Amino acid sequence: MSNPQAAIAPELDHVALLMDRVESSADANAKALSSTVLSPRFYTTDFAAMDRLDISPVRAEWDAMMKEYEGDNNHDHFQRDAAFAEEVRTLMPQLSPEMRQEFLDFLISSLTSEFSGCILYNEIRKNISNPDIKALMTYMARDESRHAGFINQSLKDFDLGIDLGSLKRTKAYTYFKPKYIFYATYLSEKIGYARYITIFRQLERHPDKRFHPIFRWFERWCNDEFRHGESFALIMRAQPQLLRGVNKLWIRFFILAVYATMYVRDHSRPMLHEAMGLHSTEYDYTVFRITSEICRQVFPVEVDIDHPVFRASMDRLLALSLAHAKAKARGGIVGRLQAAGYALQATMTFGRLFLLPVKTNTLPEQIRFEPAW
Ligand SMILES: [Fe+2]
Ligand SMILES: [Fe+2]
């Protein structure tokens, strides 16, 4: 394998183990439905607690943000232009079968994340009466529904459209207390921004590597995600107790969990990044760097992504995840015991990451940032 990643993780030859093949619409729907450690989840929360949120400490910045939502500068963005179909028709047959699988995996996991936001925001909206939070959730659900629908159109080009109604009814929901929703959703919105803008900037520099027209939409798209993240930043800054004491440990936990999941997931589709002229490891560290910079608006702690133990632990978690998948595929008592052993080692590796020293941030007086990356 000429892949430079082979140097850090020889098991990468077996990455396909982490990714079930998608050959039919049933496979695509099953993939969206599956709940694994690495796949995007659906969430539910304590609506009464959401209803009690008070954003008055950040009122001025909140109102300015709500005006932007109201202005809806992306209302006409998520429609295909005349060139879209032609690009799909000429570019898609050039993808190798493996590359096609990685791209489908990317589309399905992105769609599931977008739709997960759509459902959560919609459920909160329906179950509360607090006017500030209700208005926010209405706007964010609107945006996520457009994003999910736009990706689904591209899956339908492959005859692999996801039945969103059925997914909503049948996928498992994870309950998170509101504060965990804030940490996790803030991070996923900001990481979503960082991922989309990094891809967009790369393909802006190398348009010959843009193998699907959907990437042309990413710049304005990721500004929606950026603003969604801003909303959660304001909610958390309005409740400073969420950013103090033992909660700093929760913040550290969520940052590491989100970064590690992304690292393992992205390295299971290395061809996708190579086709764009990106290396998965470099791409992920660029995304970590952007996300960490943005998070200074709200998180009092920051993980040290350049610490040698951080870097080694990410690679270790990847190797363990691959070994775990291999052991599970092997099956039987031996396979199960091996898999349990790898899961334990992964937990210990994560524990080591958690014990690494963190950097501390003084939170800026003006909370909101511009999407300037
Ligand atoms: Fe989105
Ligand atoms: Fe979003």
Domain ranges of the chain: 25-76+83-303, 304-361
Task: Answer for the pair 229, 104: CB distance below 8 angstroms, yes or no.
Answer: no
pLDDT attached to residue 195: 97
Question: How many angstroms separate the alpha carbon of residue 357 from the centre of ligand 2?
Answer: 30
Residue 2 has pLDDT above 50, yes or no: no
Question: How many angstroms separate the alpha carbon of residue 329 from the centre of ligand 1?
Answer: 33
pLDDT attached to residue 26: 86
Q: What mean pLDDT is predicted for residues 109-115?
A: 93
Residue 1 has pLDDT above 50, yes or no: no
- In terms of phi and psi (left: phi > 0; alpha: psi -120 to 50; beta: otherwise), the region of 72 is left
Question: How many angstroms separate the alpha carbon of residue 128 from the centre of ligand 2?
Answer: 20
pLDDT attached to residue 244: 97
DSSP secondary structure letter of residue 209: G
Question: How many angstroms separate the alpha carbon of residue 157 from the centre of ligand 2?
Answer: 24
Exposed/middle/buried for 246, CB within 10 Å: 0-12, 13-18, 19+?
exposed
Q: What mean pLDDT is predicted for residues 292-321?
A: 97
Exposed/middle/buried for 93, CB within 10 Å: 0-12, 13-18, 19+?
exposed
Return d(Cα 318, Cα 350) in angstroms, integer.
11
The domain made up of 25-76+83-303 is a member of CATH 1.10.10: no
Task: Answer for the pair 237, 361: CB distance below 8 angstroms, yes or no.
Answer: no
The string over 271-309, giving b where at least 16 C-beta atoms fall within 10 Å of a residue's C-beta and e elsewhere, is bbbbbbebebbebbbbbbebbbebbebbbbbbbebeeee
Higher pLDDT pick, 268 / 276: 276
pTM, two decimals, is 0.92
Q: What mean pLDDT is predicted for residues 228-241?
A: 98
Question: How many angstroms separate the alpha carbon of residue 214 from the centre of ligand 1?
Answer: 14
Q: What mean pLDDT is predicted for residues 355-363?
A: 96
Higher pLDDT pick, 110 / 17: 110
Across the chain, mean pLDDT equals 92
To the nearest 10 degrees (0 to 180), the angle between helices 59-71 and 218-238 is: 150
Q: What mean pLDDT is predicted for residues 76-101?
A: 94
Question: How many angstroms separate the alpha carbon of residue 209 from the centre of ligand 2?
Answer: 26
pLDDT attached to residue 12: 42
Phi, psi torsion values for 302, nearest 5 degrees: -140, 130
Return d(Cα 212, Cα 87) in angstroms, integer.
7
Instruction: List Cα–Cα distances, 84 to 93, 101, 130, 143, 196, in angstroms.
Output: 15, 21, 41, 21, 19
Q: Are strands 173-175 and 42-44 parallel, antiparallel or unpaired?
A: parallel
H or E element, residue 137:
helix 131-157
Exposed/middle/buried for 129, CB within 10 Å: 0-12, 13-18, 19+?
exposed
Question: How many angstroms separate the alpha carbon of residue 140 from the centre of ligand 2?
Answer: 7
pLDDT in tens, 157-166: 999 999 999 9
pLDDT attached to residue 21: 83
pLDDT in tens, 43-85: 999 999 999 999 999 999 999 999 999 999 999 999 999 999 9
Instruction: List Cα–Cα distances, 362 to 108, 305, 314, 365, in angstroms.
Output: 38, 19, 27, 9
Residue 373 has pLDDT above 50, yes or no: yes
pLDDT attached to residue 24: 86
Residues linked to residue 42 through DSSP beta bridges, in sequence order: 173
Return d(Cα 180, Cα 182) in angstroms, integer.
5
Count of CA atoms in the C-beta half-sphere (13 A) of 247: 17
| Among 194, 232, 222, residue whose Cα is nearest residue 368 | 232
Question: How many angstroms separate the alpha carbon of residue 111 from the centre of ligand 2?
Answer: 11
Task: Answer for the pair 147, 200: CB distance below 8 angstroms, yes or no.
Answer: no
Percent pLDDT > 90 in the chain is 87
Residue 4 has pLDDT above 70, yes or no: no
Task: Answer for the pair 134, 69: CB distance below 8 angstroms, yes or no.
Answer: no
Taking the CA of 232 as reference, the closest ligand is 2
Cα angle: 33, vertex 51, 186; to 5 degrees: 50
pLDDT attached to residue 16: 52
pLDDT attached to residue 7: 38
Taking the CA of 231 as reference, the closest ligand is 2
pLDDT in tens, 190-232: 999 999 999 999 999 999 999 999 999 999 999 999 999 999 9
